[in-house]
Amino acid sequence: MKAGFGKKKQGLKRQSTGFGSTAGGFGRSSAAPALDHDPAGSAPFAANEQSGVSAADLVDRLAEKGEEALKSHFTADELRMSTKGEVSKKIDALIGELLAESGESLSGAEQKDLATYLLNEAEATIGPIGDTSDSGTTAKKDKDKNTLFEARDRIQVLLMDHIDPGAAAELPRAELADQVGEVVGELLVQEKINLNLTEQRDLVTLLLDDMLGLGPLEPLLADDEISDIMVNGPKQVYVEKKGRLTLTDVHFRDNQHLMNVAQRIVTAVGRRVDESSPICDARLADGSRVNVIAPPLAIDGASISIRKFTQDKITLDRMLEFGSITPPLAKLLKIAGACRLNILISGGTGSGKTTMLNALSRMIDKGERVVTIEDAAELQLQQPHVVRLETRPPNLEGQGEVTMRDLVKNALRMRPDRIILGEIRGGEAIDMLQAMNTGHDGSMGTIHANRPREALTRLENMVNMAGLHLPAKAIREQISASLDLIVQVQRMRDGGRRTTHVTEVVGMEGDVITTQDLFKFEFTGEDESGRLVGDFKSTGVRPHFLTKAEYFGLDRALMEAMNG
């Protein structure tokens, strides 16, 4: 505590303000401090007659202990989901415990003021209590935006009569903005719409985004802090920032406006989305991955999910800075990539599978020929010799579809050193396993699963999807002979991504694939900022691929990584 609690109280009393005012009006008037209402008319902190300790010193000591205890009694999420009354009751109970431990006592007014002080400290050091949004400010912003959107809707139709869309598309954006700005200024005067200069610039930006870009999504795509954009119909758009989902004030005019944007996205990569083909995977010009699902499957209007492409390449060293892995684990993963292990990256949606795949691919030698196969190309390999293949949906007549299986089979005829699958989700699993087992060491892929053992089960199920009717034992033998390592990644509740398991596929015992964990993440708690804390622990076992590491001259480095 920076200063004595008693001194803080006296200073506040001279200013005629109470702690209740900073606690959000906790049942008290800000014009009259609680101490002024002591029914006995006593001094604010009378001496404790039993111990001889002054009340001011006692309150200071209890305040210090209370500050230390707050973080163990509350988390940011608990405060956010509680009311101030609920938190206040818990703080009163905490003060009772502290008084019981010390064997001291305080007057009723002193206890109330101490409770209010700790309530303020909880908000200041842990997080806000309940919903702290400023409804007045929000309402004003909404009103301003609505005015801007109404102006756009009125001006947009008129603007099309004053410009040549074909010529406009060939102009640089800056030059087009100047010309559109002049026309918009005249139209605003003509329509008697009053906007200040800032609003006029915003209006021109909105119009250009609709003409050249993806309309209301353009500001979100330009925000580097946003990793995902989720459009749920024309009036609801969520984004993910730093691992947290938040609702934005972005919206589309109507369902048709939203579908126009969706069509613009998918037609750019030669695909279509309509009632006859309502599901489509595509990508933006910068490489961002897009999924579109349109009515009638999407009941409340088209849904667009965008996983943004990051210009900032995430490497294993960057993951170290984020706390996603530790130095020994990073060294192990680098060695695994350099030793040409066949690696499967497992995790849930948004857990960082593709990011991990990109990071591991940096260990691929620049002299190797790499073939990547994806539904929508998004991998960012840095090697010079990369052939990127992408699946193709059927045309209007239902012909011309090219599947992952087709591409994996064709890749085997392209003399690849490594084959990388963006995501294994069907019968291509058997072709991938065969490729891994027939001279294409160092191949990689991702799969949706929550644990390494579940990843093996899902892989087995996907092999069955190929319709080959193989015995279960034969499939498992193929998996154990082909796969070397499973890297499990997870998106945790604090929004951070962590590598929770590095599991080695050892072989077979009877009908069961045997594995051993090399590294595991063990959760231990959370820090003051609400970030989860844990240890990446090496299991200390001798890696099964030590012989292969020795072949590449990396056996000593591997054992150093395992020993931490």
Going residue by residue through the chain (564 aa), what tens digit of pLDDT does each one get? 433 443 333 333 333 333 333 333 333 333 333 333 343 333 333 444 444 557 677 888 888 888 888 878 888 778 878 888 888 888 888 888 888 888 888 888 888 888 888 888 888 888 888 755 544 444 555 556 667 777 777 777 677 777 776 676 677 777 777 877 878 888 887 778 877 778 778 778 877 777 777 888 888 988 888 989 999 999 999 999 877 888 998 888 889 889 988 988 888 888 888 888 898 888 888 878 899 999 989 998 999 999 887 766 778 888 888 888 889 999 999 999 888 999 999 998 888 888 888 888 888 888 889 999 988 777 878 788 999 998 888 877 778 888 888 898 898 889 898 899 888 888 888 888 888 887 788 899 999 999 999 999 999 999 999 888 889 999 999 999 999 999 999 988 877 888 999 999 999 999 999 999 999 998 888 777 778 888 888 888 999 999 999 998 998 999 988 887
Please report the pLDDT score of residue 141 as a whole number.
53
**Domain at 316-562, CATH homologous superfamily:** P-loop containing nucleotide triphosphate hydrolases (3.40.50.300)
Q: Which of 277, 249, 243 lies closest to 263 in space, CA to CA?
A: 277
Q: Rounded to the nearest 5 degrees, what angle is found at the Cα of 309, between the Cα atoms of 218 and 317?
A: 140
Taking the model in full, what pTM does it have?
Answer: 0.63
Q: Rounded to the nearest 5 degrees, what angle is found at the Cα of 24, between the Cα atoms of 18 and 28?
A: 45
Cis peptide before 296 (omega within 30 of 0): yes
Decide if 155 contacts 184 (C-beta within 8 A). yes
Length of the chain measured in residues: 564
404 vs 383: CA distance, rounded Å: 22
466-473: long-range pairs with CB below 8 Å, 24+: 466/405, 466/426, 466/427, 466/428, 466/429, 466/430, 466/431, 467/427, 468/430, 472/511, 473/511
Please report the pLDDT score of residue 446 as a whole number.
92
Tokens of 323: 């706390």
169 vs 564: CA distance, rounded Å: 58
> Quick one: fold of 138-307?
Beta-Lactamase (3.30.450)
Please report the pLDDT score of residue 540 as a whole number.
87
Find tokens 């992408």 and name the residue: 390
Domain ranges of the chain: 5-125, 138-307, 316-562
Decide if 47 contacts 53 (C-beta within 8 A). yes
